[in-house]
Amino acid sequence: MSLKKHILDLRKRKEQVEKGGGDKAIEKQVARGKQTARNRILALLDKDSFTEYDLFVEHEARDFGMDKKQLHGDGVIIGTGTIYGAPICIYAQDFTVEGGSLGLMHARKITKIMDHALKMRVPIVGINDSGGARIQEGVNALAGYGEIFYRNTMASGVIPQISVILGPCAGGAVYSPALTDFVFVVDNISKMFITGPGVIESVLGEKISMEDLGGARVHAETTGNAHFFADSELECFDQIKKLITFIPWSNTKRAKTFPPKPPKFKGNIEDLIPSDPRQPYDVRDVIKAIVDDSDFFEIQELWAANIVIGFGRLNGETVGFVANQPLVLAGVLDCDSSDKAARFIRYCDAFNIPIVTLEDMPGYLPGVDQEHAGVIRHGAKVLYAYSEATVPKVTVILRKAYGGGYIAMNSRHLGADFMFAWPTAEIAVMGPEGAANIIFRKEIEEAEDKDAMRAQKVEEYKEKFANPFVAAAKGYIDSVIEPSETRDLLLHAIEVSAHKEDHRPAKKHGVPPF
C-alpha cells in the first residue's frame, strides 16, 4: 500500500473510532444537555492544543457477550494539552460507549495518563461520566479502580488533581474524584452516588430519583463533595480555567504571578463592618476590599457557608483566604465548616500558597447535635491543619475571637507568622454575656436588681478583656491596626515571608483526626 493509502486508511480508522458509541448514542447524550467527551476536552483546553493517546485501544473482555462488542477507545479519551499555556494531562469518559463504564483497558488508559501527569509534574483533569466498574468485567474492573485510587493517593499533594462530574457517576467514578483536590459539578447534569437508584430499589425497595439521591445541588450544598457548582458545562469549564490560573503546576513550584492590581473597591473598609458587634456583615466584602482587582475566587460557596475559603491575589501572588462568615451562624466553627477549612489549609500548605485568615467568630458551635456529630474530632482538624502548615500564615482579627475560636483560627500559639487585630477586636475566653453570667453568678443572684448588676458586670468584663490590647500587651498579637492599613500590611507580610523556612520533626506522617 502506498503511503498516501496508509494515511487515508489511518484517517478512516480515526474517524470511525472518534464517533465513540455511534450517532444514536451521541444523539441521546446531546438530548440530555451533555456534550460528547471529545467536545468537552476541546472546549476546556486551549485551541488546537489537544494531543490524544491510545485512540485505538480496545477492550479484552470475553464474558457476557462482550466478545461480540467493539468499544471504541474502550469508553475513555486520554491526552495532553494546555490551559492558558499551562500543560495539562486529561481524560474524559465517554458515556456513549457502554455508559462510560470502566473495564481493564479503560482503566489502563486512565492510569497511563495519571502516571504521565505525575512524572511530568503537571495537573491532571478527569472528566467523569460513567456508571462505574464495568459489571461484565468483574474483578478486572475493580482492579482498575483500585489502581486509579492508588495513583490518586500517590499524586495527592504533588500535582493538582481536578475532577469534573458530567453525567450519572457511580461507584469508582465518584470515589476517584473524592480523592482529588477539586470537584466540579453542573446543575441537572452531574449525579454522584455509590450505587444508583436502580440498585437502591432492588436492594432496599426504595424509589428515589437520581437528582434527589445525588444531584449537583445535593453535593454542592449538602454533602460538600463538590467544590464548584455551575449552571452549564461551558460555565464549569470557565471555572476550571480560572482555578488553573491560581494554583501551581506542582508542589515544587509557585503559582504564576500576575501584574499587581489595586482592589476595585473604593470605599472605606471600616464602613463594611457594622458598629454594633451583634450585627452581621458579609466577610467577602472585606476580602474583596483587600485583594488585587477585588477578584476573589470562592471555593465550596454553597456548603458550610459559615466559613469562607478561596483564592485571591496580593501584589499578583496567589493567597488562600480562610474567613469566618458572620452572615451565617455568626461565623461559628462546626463539624462541616471545620472540615472545609482544614482541608483547604492543607491544600494551600501542600502547594506553597500563603494563608490569610480573617477572624470574627464566637467560637465552636455548642449543642447536642454538634457534640454527637463529632465536633471534637472535626474541630480538631482545624487545629491540626494550621499547626502543621509551614507556608506563611497571617491572621487579622476583625471583631470577635472567642474561646476555642481564638486559638483555632491561626493564632500565634498555632504558629501564625503575623497577627494583626483591628481596634474592634474582642479577644476573650467567651462572649462578655456568657462570661459575666458564670464568673459573677453569685453577685448577680444576690443583687436586688439582677439585670442592672448583670449589665454592669458584662461591661466590666468587656472593658477588661473584650478588646485587642490585653493580647497585644502580651505579644500574642503583633499590631493593633487601622482597617485601612490591612491590605498594605498583608502585602508586606507576604513579601517578607517569601523565603520562609519552617521545619517539622522528621516523621513518616502525622495521624490527623481524619
Contact residues for ligand HXC, defined by CB under 6 A: 98-99, 101, 131-135, 142, 145, 168, 170-172, 175, 195-196, 198-199
Choose between 170 and 319: whose C-beta lies nearer to ligand HXC.
170
Contacts of 382 (CB under 8 A, 6+ apart): 333, 338, 341, 342, 345, 408, 409
Q: At closest approach, how far in Å is the CB of 100 from ligand HXC?
A: 7
Choose between 94 and 426: whose C-beta lies nearer to ligand HXC.
94
Q: At closest approach, how far in Å is the CB of 148 from ligand HXC?
A: 9
Q: Give me the amino acid identity at 133.
A: A
Residue 254 grid coordinates: 509557585
CA neighbor of 168 nearest in space, from 107, 200, 207, 213: 213
Q: At closest approach, how far in Å is the CB of 224 from ligand HXC?
A: 19
Please calculate the CA angle 370-371-374 and round it to the nearest 5 degrees: 85
Is there a contact between 342 and 381 (Cβ–Cβ < 8 Å)?
yes
Choose between 186 and 289: whose C-beta lies nearer to ligand HXC.
186
CA atoms within 13 A on the CB side of 469: 4
Choose between 142 and 472: whose C-beta lies nearer to ligand HXC.
142
Q: At closest approach, how far in Å is the CB of 74 from ligand HXC?
A: 12
CA neighbor of 410 nearest in space, from 273, 269, 264, 309: 309
Q: At closest approach, how far in Å is the CB of 102 from ligand HXC?
A: 7
CA neighbor of 163 nearest in space, from 44, 52, 308: 44
Q: How far is Cα 346 from Cα 151, in angstroms, rounded to an integer?
A: 19
Q: At closest approach, how far in Å is the CB of 394 from ligand HXC?
A: 39
Q: At closest approach, how far in Å is the CB of 338 from ligand HXC?
A: 25
Q: How far is Cα 376 from Cα 343, in angstroms, rounded to an integer?
A: 16
Choose between 98 and 339: whose C-beta lies nearer to ligand HXC.
98
Q: At closest approach, how far in Å is the CB of 98 from ligand HXC?
A: 5
Q: Determine the 3-state secondary structure of 422 from DSSP.
A: coil
Choose between 172 and 263: whose C-beta lies nearer to ligand HXC.
172
Over the Cα atoms of the chain, what is R_g?
Answer: 26
Choose between 39 and 195: whose C-beta lies nearer to ligand HXC.
195
Choose between 143 and 327: whose C-beta lies nearer to ligand HXC.
143
* Strand spans (E) along 179-306: 182-186, 191-193, 228-230, 297-299
Total residues belonging to the chain: 514
Contacts of 428 (CB under 8 A, 6+ apart): 401, 402, 403, 406, 435, 461, 465, 466
Choose between 75 and 432: whose C-beta lies nearer to ligand HXC.
75
Q: At closest approach, how far in Å is the CB of 185 from ligand HXC?
A: 15
